[in-house]
Chain A
């Protein structure tokens, strides 16, 4: 058996490997190279070295502003999404009637595409703000909180499902033992439930963190960066740099590489930190 696996391993791994090389590795390396070039289409390139990286940071403050806005947004939305999702998960694992219906309903927004959600929410938010003589683009803060609400609405259901599966996996014996030892509800939550669902927390944090940081569709459809690029997140800034200026494709590409490094660094650090807190079942 062992031998057979060894023998056939290359053949079975080949399709995935080829797909990985064609769809991931090659574009990635091309992307790295292009960030060092001045180009219009990927076929005609002119090597310019790190010039693009210098421009990305020195030309205007858009990139740094977007980075700051994205960071703020990520912190707020990661906290709110996970907190709300966890509370829902706790409620819906209690013996309440119709939990399955609620789970389905909470999960549904996640099935709608980001662009559509963005337009729907821009209508809802504008409809409400209309009574106060304002729109979502009146103030950058409106855009910020609009995005947070939108992301919560979309992501809470999904994270909730992951938390629910985690909570359901906790052995009732543990809870019972804790109860017999005299732990109250709060202590049971902190010392039994949370350590037991650490794998779920790792996944949820990872997903919300990277989703928030890489957010594009919702940002594009909800505010498009208005007013005055103040609600522009990193992905949107890269997109606008790439397409909005003559001869700036390379700079957009350089920004994208920086963006990749940041996302990778954050995700890896977070994975390392939460993994180390996980306990064996």
Chain B
């Protein structure tokens, strides 16, 4: 009988849950004049926006909100922030974290539940396309108001549906100690990093370094080009950004143009091949073994000083720090040069694929409470400190002062490069890859790269397949 009871209890609980949900959506329509319970410290500085974000809705009935976190490395830190928020406001913030690479899957299943995430993340225009029906228009919100560069946000018509919350950048990370050692060798092809500002020069230096690798004490110039399925995003997405940027970015709207492109010309395929070949020919690992390598493997090689350079971004500091061998002051960035025209002025690839979206399917009070949490996180003193010190984000928000920036070397370098870009010395490369039609395109391209490295596929075939796949994937979505 106990089984029967359990099933009965389950069924009853289910019915109750449905009832509770119905109750929730009712309460959203009630308007009340009592003041909002939010304790955001900067309420007094509230600016008058035309639309607002449910400003007159009362959130006092909201018991909890649910944030589906994208960054596994920050999971514990978000939990601490949530505890603090509950202490201050009494609203419970439920934090769930999806495993690396599993966010879309987790979100799909969580969204179908009766208690869906109220704050979730989309990865740009393609993610928005996928979750359109669930994204609330946040154009009137305080958080959007704080975004310094409004062009970063995900927009559709007049509405704003995704607010960027962290600015990231990637390039070739190099170990300055090893480079200095190289510059001191006899017949070095360059005297300092400043001289390396084009693919031709980079190639010359790298090939000379490979010849002298024993003298330099490294196994190869570049860390392994990790091509294991699921670990190939540095190549099929990030490196692919450069040809996409040069193909679509002529008028400064690389992301939009790329997203709108029905077809890929792959005009800069040769440039992609240049740099990709350079990586694999001068790698720690020989070509046939790259299919078994993961990102962690190659980061460990860099942290262990087995290689001098590695392509990765600002999120990789944790991995390098763990290795403990490389000194923080030796970690620097070099832009990814591919041999494109005018690349002497090219900067790092700077952008974001992390956008907050508010679930439009939950009731208004919960939507507002969710937004209140985000505003608190990025404006209150405690929140800002946590964002900078614990989460280590370089944010796009104006609420952060000059001295409120993360201090890890990759973040510092990123800020230095974006300052250079702001002053016009270099031009940052936009994240055009946000407009790649689908995950399938990326995984197919990654698989093709692996076959190319293993000598099973011609480069021309790789390029042709990428073009065909682009057209079909774009048409399908």
Question: Which A residues lie at the B interface, using CB under 8 A?
Answer: 14-15, 18-19, 22, 40-44, 55, 59-60, 122, 126, 130, 133-138, 223-229, 240, 243-249
Given A40-B108, A243-B104, A244-B440, answer yes or no on A226-B291 (Cβ-Cβ < 8 Å).
Answer: yes
Pairs A–B under 8 Å by Cβ, sample size 27:
A14-B4, A15-B7, A40-B108, A133-B286, A134-B289, A135-B291, A135-B292, A136-B291, A138-B454, A225-B229, A226-B229, A226-B447, A228-B444, A228-B448, A240-B440, A243-B105, A244-B438, A244-B440, A245-B439, A245-B440, A246-B126, A246-B438, A246-B476, A246-B477, A247-B477, A248-B476, A249-B108
Q: State whether A223 touches B229 (Cβ < 8 A).
A: yes
Give, as a whole number of angstroms, the nearest-CB distance from A23 to chain B. 10
Interface flags for B302-316 (1: CB within 8 Å of A; 0: not) read: 000000000000000
Whether, in the assembled complex, B380 has its beta carbon less than 8 Å from a beta carbon of chain A, the answer is: no
Q: Judge whether B288 is part of the interface by a CB distance below 8 angstroms.
A: yes
Once the chains bind, are A226 and B450 in contact (CB under 8 Å)? yes
Tell me whether A18 and B451 are in contact in the complex, defined as CB-CB below 8 angstroms, given that A41-B112, A245-B439, A246-B129 are known contacts: no
Q: Tell me whether A133 and B288 are in contact (CB under 8 A).
A: yes
Taking a contact as CB atoms under 8 Å apart, the answer to whether A134 and B476 are in contact is: no
A18 contacts B11, C-beta separation under 8 Å: yes
Interface assignment of B214: CB less than 8 Å from any CB of chain A:
no
The CA of A249 and the CA of B107, in the complex, are separated in Å by 14
Closest to B457 in A: A228
Q: Say whether chain A's binding surface is mostly helix, strand, loop, or mixed.
A: loop
Residues of B within 8 A of A133 (CB): 286, 288-289
B471 close to A (CB within 8 Å) = no
| A19: chain B residues within 8 A (beta carbon) | 3, 7
A227 with B108: in contact, given A15-B3, A137-B228, A137-B292 (CB under 8 Å)? no
Shortest Cβ-Cβ A-B pairs, 6 listed: A137-B291, A224-B229, A135-B292, A246-B477, A41-B112, A15-B4
Partner of B443, one of A244, A246, A248: A244
Q: Is B456 close to A, CB under 8 A? A: yes
Contacts of B89 in A (CB 8 A): none
* B: contact size bracket: 35 or more
Which residues of the partner chain A approach B439 to less than 8 Å between Cβ atoms? 243-245
For residue A75, give the distance in angstroms from its CB to the closest CB of chain B.
25
A224 neighbours in B (Cβ, 8 Å): 228-230
- Measured between C-beta atoms, what is the minimum distance from A223 to chain B in Å? 7
How long is the Cα–Cα vector from A22 to B448 in the complex, in angstroms? 43
A137, B112: Cβ atoms under 8 Å? no
* B residues at A contact (CB < 8 Å): 3-4, 7, 11, 104-105, 108, 111-112, 126, 129-131, 133-134, 227-230, 286, 288-292, 437-440, 443-444, 447-448, 450-451, 454, 456-457, 472-473, 476-477
Q: In the bound complex, how far is the Cα of B26 from the Cα of A59, in angstroms?
A: 44
Q: Chain A: which residue is nearest B14 at the CB level?
A: A22
Determine if A228 and B450 form an interchain contact, defined as CB atoms under 8 angstroms apart: yes
Q: Which of B105, B134, B454, B457 has the most CB of A within 10 A?
A: B454
Contacts of B454 on A, CB cut-off 8 Å? Answer: 137-138, 227
User: Which of A122, A226, A246 is the one whose CB lies under 8 Å from B130?
Assistant: A246
Please give me the residue from chain B that is nearest to A125 by CB atom: B292
Distance between A38 CB and nearest chain B CB, rounded to angstroms: 11
Taking the nearest CB of chain B, how far is it from the CB of A113, in angstroms?
Answer: 16
Instruction: Please give, as numbers and ranges, the residues of chain A lying within 8 Å of B292 by CB-CB distance.
Output: 122, 126, 135-137
Q: Which residues of A contact B227 (CB under 8 A)?
A: 137
- Which residue of chain B is the closest to A16 with respect to CB atoms? B3
Quick one: which of A14, A59, A122 contacts B476, CB cutoff 8 A? Answer: A59
Q: Is the CB of A40 within 8 A of B447?
A: no
A137 to B294, CA, bound (A): 13
Known contacts A18-B11, A40-B131, A138-B454; A228/B440 CB under 8 A: no
- Known contacts A245-B439, A245-B440; can you find 9 more A-B pairs with CB under 8 A? A14-B4, A19-B3, A136-B291, A138-B288, A226-B291, A227-B454, A228-B447, A229-B447, A243-B108
Cα A245 to Cα B454 in complex, Å, equals 27
Say how far B235's CB is from chain A's closest CB, in angstroms.
14
- A135 touching B440, Cβ below 8 Å: no
Which of the listed residues B105, B290, B450 has the most CB atoms from chain A within 10 Å of its own CB? B450
| CB of A119 to closest CB in B, whole Å | 11
- Also in contact, A227 and B456, with CB within 8 A (given A41-B112, A245-B438): yes
In the complex, what distance in Å separates the CA atom of A130 from the CA atom of B130?
A: 41
Residues from chain B with a CB closer than 8 A to the CB of A59 are 472, 476
On chain B, the residues within 8 Å of A249 by CB distance are 108
Residues of B within 8 A of A22 (CB): 7, 11
Q: Which residues of the other chain, A, contact B133 by a CB distance below 8 angstroms? A: 40, 44
Chain A residues lying within 8 Å of B443, measured Cβ to Cβ, are 240, 244
CA A228 to CA B291, docked complex, whole Å: 11
Q: Are A135 and B472 within 8 A (Cβ)?
A: no
- For A44, list chain B residues within 8 Å (CB): 133
Contacts of A14 in B (CB 8 A): 4
Bound together, the chains give a CA A126 to CA B450 distance in angstroms of: 16
User: Within 8 Å CB of B437, what residues of A?
Assistant: 246
Most A Cβ at <10 Å: residue of B4, B108, B440: B440
Cβ contact within 8 Å between B108 and A60: no
**Do A135 and B289 have beta carbons less than 8 Å apart?**
yes
A122 to B450, CA, bound (A): 17
Q: What residue of chain A has the Cβ atom nearest to residue B232's Cβ?
A: A226
Residues of chain B with a CB closer than 8 A to A226's CB: 228-229, 291, 447, 450
Question: Once the chains are docked, how many angstroms separate the CA of A122 from the CA of B289?
Answer: 13
Q: Which B residues touch A40, using CB under 8 A?
A: 108, 111, 130-131, 133-134
